[in-house]
Amino acid sequence: MTTKRKNLFLYLALACFIGLIAIFFVDGYLGIYDTTYITAGEQEQVIEPDYWLQQYPPGAEMTYYIGAQWGQKVFFRYEIDNHRFSSYSTLVQASVWQENEKVFDLFSEQKSMGPFDKATMEWTLSTEDLGQPVPGTSSQYTVRITYGEVARKIVVDFYYPGEYPVPPEVVPVPTPE
User: Per residue in 51-88, pLDDT tens?
Assistant: 877 766 655 677 889 988 888 899 999 999 998 889 99
Q: Which residue has the higher pLDDT, 91 or 4?
A: 91
- Distances 79 to 32, 36, 67, 133 between C-alpha atoms, Å: 10, 6, 22, 31
- Which residues make Cβ contacts (< 8 Å) with residue 110, sequence separation at least 6? 89, 90, 91, 92
Confidence of residue 137 (pLDDT cuts 50, 70, 90): confident
Question: H or E stretch including 22?
Answer: helix 2-28
Measured in whole angstroms, how far is the alpha carbon of residue 91 from the centre of its chain? 16
pTM of the model: 0.74
Confidence of residue 127 (pLDDT cuts 50, 70, 90): confident
Single-letter residue type at 18: I
- Give which of 106, 33, 52 is closest to 75, Cα–Cα: 106
Q: What's the 3-state SS for 136-151?
A: CCEEEEEEEEEECCEE
CATH of domain 31-159: 2.60.40.10
135 has pLDDT over 80? no
* CA dihedral sign of residues 145, 44, 51, 155: negative
Chain segment 21-59, per-residue pLDDT in tens? 777 666 656 788 889 999 988 888 998 888 877 766 655
